[in-house]
Chain A
Amino acid sequence: MQPDLTVRIAGESGEGVITIGETLCKISAREGINIVTFRTFPAEIKGGACMIQVRLSETPIPYHGEKVDLLVCLNQLALDENLRDLKEDGVLVCESECDLEDEQPRRTVYKAPFDRIATREIGSRITKNIVVLGTLSYIMGLSKEIVEGFITEKFARKGKAVLDHNMDALQRGINYAAQHFTRETPYQLPQGSVHKKLLMTGNEAIALGATAAGMRYFFGYPITPASEIMEWLAVNLPKVGGTVLQTEDEISAVCSVAGASWAGGVSMTSTSGPGLALMSETIGLLSMAEIPAVIVDSQRGGPSTGMPTKTEQSDLLIALYGSHGDSTRVVMAPISVSDCFQVTATAFAIAEKYQLPVIVLVDQALSARLETVDRQILDKIPKFSRLCVIPREDGHYARYQLSGFDVSPIALPGTAGGEHMVTGREHDAFGNFACDEETHTAMTVKRFGKLNSIETDPLMSEMCLRLGDENAEIGIVTWG
C-alpha cells in the first residue's frame, strides 16, 4: 500500500481513455481519496492523441504529479509519447501489438490484447475501454462490486444488451489480468477518509461558484477551453431562474454584461485569451463607468489562435493592463479546483462591493482538471451587496459622488429620482462629460482609491497562500 499513486492512461480520442480515468476518479472520490487529474485534448475534432493522468493520495495534493507509477497505453503512439514519464520501477500495461524498443529491466511490463478481446471475443470494439478498466481494476485491487455498480449506473438506461456487453467486457479484462499478470496487486488505492468528496472540474467549480454567489445573468461566446462554463450554466442556471445568452462574439458578451450589471443584475462572462483581447476596450468602459462585472479567462497557448487545447499562463499582462489609459480592475487567479469555486464567488463580492471589473484567470489545465473538493467549500460563500441608494424623488442624484469614499451609491435605473447616465467618457459627479485636468485627476484618484480599500478588505485575506518553511532563506513569489 502506498500513500500516493499516479496513473496515466493514454490512447486515441474516441477510445474511451477519458472514461476510464473518470471512472477511476469517481470510485476514488466515493472512497474519500484525494484526486488531482491532468488531461490533454487532441487538436483534432475527432481522433488524435489524448491522455488522462490521475494522482490519488491519502492527503490533499497540490498538483497532478510528474512521473507515473502505472502507465496504460492503448496504441503505439501513446506508448512512444508517454513511456519517458514512467518511473524506473513503474508498471506498464499496453496493447499486445505495441513494440518496446529498449529493454525495461526494472519495470514490469504487461501486454494484453485489449483490441482482440473487444472485437473478437465480445464482438464490440467500443467495449475496449471497459476491458482495460477490468484489467486496471485487477491491478489496483478495486472492489469488483463498486466497479460493477458504476458500469450499471452508466449503461443501465441503454438497455440490457448494452449492459451485458459491458459487464462481459469488465469480467474478461479482470480474467485476462488474473491469468497473465504475475506480480500480484502491485498497487492499491491509497487509504481514503470516511468523508465522501465532491468531484468536479475547474470550469464546473467556476460555474458553480458563480451560481452560488448569486450570479443570474451569463453572457458568453464559445471558445476552448472556457466553453464548458457556458455549457454547464446553460443546463443549470435556468433551474434557479437565471438567464444564459449566447452572443455573436466576445465584444457583445462583455457589453451585455455591462448592460445587465448596470440594470442591477449580478452578471458575468467567460472566455479565453483571444476573447479577452476583444473585450479589452469594454474592460476600460467598465472601469470608467464603474460597473461591476466578472470576466473569467481560461488561458490557452497563444498568441492568436495559438494552441486552443493546450495550457499556457500568458495572459497576466493583458488581464492587468489590457485596455488603454489608466483603467482599474482586480485580477484573481485560483490555484486549485476548490479555489476556483471560492475565488469566483469572492470575485463577485469584490466586483459588486467596489463597482469595478474583476478578471478571474485560470488556465486550460485547471479548467479541465478533475479534482476532489471538500463539501465545506459550500459553506464559505461570501455575502455581499451593492451599495445602493433609494434617491429622493425630487433630489438630484449624483452617480459618481465624490464624498471621500471611493464607492458612490448606485440608484438602479427605473427608480424615480435616480435617473442618471453612466458613461465611458470622463465625467463629473453627475456623469456630465468633463475634460478638464482637475476632474480627470480627481476621478482617476477615486477609481484607483478602490484598489487600496480592496487590499485591506477581509475578503482578500484568503487570496494568498504561504507554503513551506517559515525561516527559509529563499522565497519565491508566484501567482496562479
Chain B
Amino acid sequence: MYYAVNLKKISGDLKFFLFYQHILMNEEENIGFSITSDYDSITTEEVFKPLLKVLMAYSHKLIGNGTLRLTKNRDELAYDFSMEAIQRYLENPDKFDPSRNSDLVKYLKFNILKRLISNFKELKGQQNECIFEDDDSIGMSVSKSFIKENDVHDLIDLENIIQQIQKELIDNPILLSLFNLRYISDYTRAEVCTELEISNGEYNNRIRRLDTVLNRVKKNQQI
C-alpha cells in the first residue's frame, strides 16, 4: 500500500482494501494519516494529494493569523513550507530514520515543518520584515537563513495565560477536563482519550475548540 491509516484491529492488505473507505469514515478506528512504508511513493499523485493537504493544514495553523507582517499570504506560505519539507526529505532521505519512528508524516511535520516555521517566526519576530527569498527555479524555495532551532511560539511571553484559559472554561466542564488532563497533568493524547472515553476524532474536535478559546484569550490580551 502506498499509505496507510494505521489500524489497531484490522490487518492484512485484503481487509485494508475492503475496509479502507469505511475506516476513513470510522473515527474509532482511525488513528491518523501516516506513511509507514514505500516512502518513495510520496511523489505519486495518490499519496502526494493527502500528504500535501495534511502538511498544509498543519503549516497554515502554525503560521497563524497573528501580528506578523507577511509579504506572502498565509496560504502561499503554508504551501511553501510544506513543499520545502517534502523537498528537504527528498534531497536527504537518509536523515529520516524509520527505525526510530517509521511514520514519514510525523517526521515531516515534527522534524522539519515545525522547525522551519518556528525559525521563520523567530526571525519575523526579530526583524518584522520578510525573510523569504525569491523563488528558485523550481519555485519552492523558502529562506535558507533559518538559523535557530526553537519551539513554536516561544515569542509568546505570558505568565497567566493558563489561568486565563481555565477561567474561560469554568462553565465548560468537557473542555476543562481535557485541558487539565492534557496541559496540567501532561497526559498524552492516547491517555486523554482513554481517560475521557472519547475517540481520536472527538479529541481533535475538543482541541480545536480549545484552540478557539486560546485565540480569544490571546486576542483579549492583545498578543
A binds B: no
Chain A positions within 8 Å of B, measured between CB atoms, are none
